[in-house]
Structure 1
Amino acid sequence: MSQMKVVPGIEITPAKMIVNALPDADYAAWSAATTYAIGDFVTIDRINYQALVAHNNRNPVTDMVSPPAWQNLGWINKYRMFNKAIGNTWKIGTFTAAQNVIDFTIRPGQRINAIGLVGVYASSVRIVMTVPGVTDPVYDKTFAMSSKAGGSWYQYFFGQFTTKDNLAEFDLPPYNNADIRVIVSATGSTARVGMMIIGWAKNIGTAVYGTSLGRKKYSTIKEEFDGSITITKRGRRRSIDFQVELTGDQISSTQRILDDVDDVPSLFVGASNLAYTIIIGIYDDFDTGLPTYNRGQYTLKTRSLM
């Protein structure tokens, strides 16, 4: 059993992104002087668009003609790990990616004590926290995200890697003026992060046995008259139904905490040492009964926004 935690995410704006080598545009900027063909891409204000019709002088942001000339594809690669929203729609199956390393520094401008990354494809993640006037980092830890199976020389050289996709840490010193550098390394490969959240962790009980994991895929399979099948590959979404215990006097405060994160992308963690109990998303249902002998239980149904 472990402390169940939730971390409401802090919005990561360009002003808070102090250092990031990834480009501010994935495609060329839109121009009124350019004639666009179907399938062309442009970037405006860190949002990508794709042309749906051949046209010119139809601005992706302001054009209201129907049928539309552009499709909003969502945030550029640089910010995709912090925001996947297209209006009220959150896209699944998207991530921030870079060859070898994703390296950036954020200045939250407020106290935080927690960080979570999900959908990580990397060999390691390093988190470094610095504050003005202090020579050495106040926090500097590296976390292995993959390791070789041991036991024999054959396993070491030819065995399958053991990997974890998610990371959550709750021991960041709560400075209000800190910079947080995150280095996601995948030497010789592509580093990827599905989503990342920083914020202040709140305890909402104790996660217990009975917690269940789920995954739903959205690919479609169509069977033809001759028995052949057509597979249209789409994204997939993880879910966790947490079983949580708490004392009777925690029920009201837990309800208030969950009210505050209603429909807000947040980090939910059953146990930080069990990567598969870490999820960034929203909760659907909160069901609890009356406490008995000052002990209560509830089920928290969560699903990923990744």
Structure 2
Amino acid sequence: MSEMRVVPGIEITPAKMIINALPDMDHPAYDSLKAYVIGDSVTIDRINYQALVANTNRHPVTDTVAPAAWQNLGWINKYRMFNKNIGNTWKIGTFTSAPDVIDVTIRPGQRISAIGLVGVFASSVRIIMTVPGVTDPVYDKTFAMSLKAGGSWYQYYFGQFVTKDNLAEFDLPPFNNADIRVIVSAPGGTVRVGMMVIGWAKTIGTAVYGTSLGRKKYSTIKEDFDGGVTITKRGQRRSIDFQVVLSGDQISSTQRTLDAVDDIPSLYVGSSELEYTVIVGIFDDFDTGLPTYNRGEYALKVRSLM
């Protein structure tokens, strides 16, 4: 059993992103004088757009002529690990990627105690926290995301790698003026991060056995008259049904905490030691019974938005 926590993420704006070597634009800037053809792409204010029809002087943001000339493709690569929404639509299956390393420094401008990364493809993640006036980092830890299984020489040379997709840490010193540097490394390969959330962790009980994992895929399968099968690959979403216990005097505060993150993507963690209980999403259901002998139980279903 472990503390069940939720972390409402703070918004990462350009002002808070102190260092990030990834490009500010995935495509050229929009030009009102250019004749665009179907499939052309542009970047405006960290958002990518693709031309649906040939057009000139139809601005992707302000144009209201029907049918639409542009499709909103969502955030640029640099910000995909922090934002996935297109209006009210959350674009699943997207991530920030780069060759070898993603190295980003965030200045939250407020106290934080936790960080979580989900959908990670990397060999290691290093988290460094520094504050002005202090020579050495106040926090500096490296976490292996890919290890060889077993301990024998055979396993070392021929065994499969055991990988972790998610990481959650809750021991960051709560300075209000700290810079947080995150280095996600995959030397010789492509590193990917689905989501990164930083914020103040709140305990909402104790996760217990009975918690279950799920995944729903949205691919469609069509069977033809002659037995042929057409598969249209689409996205997929993870879900976790957390089973949680808490003392009777925690119920009201837990309800208030969950009310505050209703329909707000947040980091939920059943146990940081069990990385598969780390998820970024929204909760669908919160069912609790009356406490007995000052012990209450509830079920919390969280669906991934990554």
Which TM class, normalised by the smaller chain length?
over 0.9
Question: Which residue is equivalent to 1:234?
Answer: 234
Percent of residue pairs bearing the same amino acid type? 82
- Displacement, 1:228? 1.0
What are the equivalent positions in structure 2 for 1:1-306 lying under 5 Å apart?
Answer: 1-306=1-306
- Consecutive unaligned residues of structure 2, counting only runs of 5 or more, are none
Q: Number of aligned pairs?
A: 306
- Displacement, 1:153? 2.7
Q: Aligned letter for 2:140?
A: D
- Displacement, 1:44? 0.4
CA separation in 2, counterparts of 1:283 and 1:9? Answer: 15
- Displacement, 1:33? 1.1
CA separation in 2, counterparts of 1:156 and 1:150? Answer: 7
- Displacement, 1:155? 2.0
Deviations along 1:53-81, whole A, 9 cap, x unmatched? 01111000000011000000000000001
Deviations along 1:187-243, whole A, 9 cap, x unmatched? 011000000100000000000000010001111111111111111111110000000
CA separation in 2, counterparts of 1:160 and 1:140? Answer: 29
SS of 2:116's equivalent in the other structure is: strand
RMSD of aligned C-alpha atoms? 0.6
Task: Output the TM-score relative to the length of structure 2.
Answer: 0.99
Q: Aligned letter for 2:227?
A: G
Runs of 4+ in 1 over 3 A off after TM superposition: none
CA separation in 2, counterparts of 1:218 and 1:195? Answer: 20
- Consecutive unaligned residues of structure 1, counting only runs of 5 or more, are none
